[in-house]
């Protein structure tokens, strides 16, 4: 009887100690809706919040940024039309969004999985890819310097191969609402 109780105690202790590592980054599946207030986020601003223990990028794009995304030359991107992207059906367009002036994405690069840093239009990269092409603002992976545009599309000749993943979300009454998957 003592042996059984000892083994049971070891198993329970192991479960308690190691269960936080059972999922990548200690995350849990999204089973209920999560809201992020964005009414105060002005056009041209980007906010990075935490969602399921990971960064989430919320960008409120200007009309000029939208126009530049839609007019961008497809040869600048590895997957300009997001054919291999992880995204809901509503994001299958150049802006990768169901609400054109808003962009929501997981805030980790698709190469090494490091946190993204927002680079506004006033801080163009020194990469020769952008010589002669207007920098519209976008994101850079903090580890491998992979660049993404404001629609989360990865540029050509970058180490990452995939566009940023888009969660299932909606904008309702000044809040970004992440829906259960």
What is the b/e burial string over 60-86, where b = at least 16 CB atoms within 10 angstroms of the residue's CB? bbbeebbebbeebeeeebbebebeebe
Res 6: pLDDT? 52
Res 108: pLDDT? 97
121-144 pLDDT, tens digit per residue, is: 888 887 776 766 778 889 999 899
33-178: CATH architecture:
3-layer Sandwich (2.102)
Contact 145, 130 (CB under 8 A): no
Contact 119, 139 (CB under 8 A): yes
Nearest to 102 by CA among 93, 114, 112: 93
How confident is the prediction for the chain on average, in pLDDT? 84
Token pair in block for residue 20: 């936080």
Torsion from C-alpha of 83, 158, 149, 48, nearest 10 degrees: 100
Q: What is the DSSP letter of 165?
A: P
φ, ψ at 106 (rounded to 5°): -60, 135
Task: Name the pTM for this structure.
Answer: 0.80
Q: Are strands 169-172 and 175-178 parallel, antiparallel or unpaired?
A: antiparallel
Q: Are strands 175-178 and 34-37 parallel, antiparallel or unpaired?
A: antiparallel
Q: What is the DSSP letter of 77?
A: B
Residue 18 has pLDDT above 60, yes or no: no
What is the mean predicted confidence (pLDDT) over 76-88? Answer: 91
Token pair in block for residue 71: 């007019």
Contact 165, 178 (CB under 8 A): no
Nearest to 130 by CA among 155, 95, 154: 155
CA dist 140 and 125 (Å) reads 9
């Amino acid at each position: 009887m003592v042996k059984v109780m000892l083994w049971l105690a070891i198993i329970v202790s192991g479960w308690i100690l190691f269960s936080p590592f059972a999922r990548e980054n200690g995350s849990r599946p999204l089973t209920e809706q999560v809201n992020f207030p964005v009414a105060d986020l002005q056009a041209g601003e980007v906010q990075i919040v935490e969602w399921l223990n990971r960064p989430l990028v919320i960008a409120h794009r200007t009309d000029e940024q939208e126009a530049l995304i839609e007019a961008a030359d497809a040869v600048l991107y590895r997957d300009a039309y997001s054919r291999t992207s992880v995204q809901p059906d509503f994001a299958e367009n150049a802006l990768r969004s169901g609400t054109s002036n808003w962009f929501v994405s997981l805030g980790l690069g698709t190469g090494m999985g490091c946190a993204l840093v927002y680079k506004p239009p006033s801080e163009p990269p020194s990469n020769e890819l952008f010589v002669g092409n207007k920098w519209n603002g976008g994101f850079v992976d903090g580890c491998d310097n992979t660049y993404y545009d404001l629609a989360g599309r990865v540029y050509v000749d970058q180490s990452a191969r995939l566009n940023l993943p888009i969660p299932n979300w909606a904008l309702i009454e000044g809040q970004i609402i992440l829906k259960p998957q």
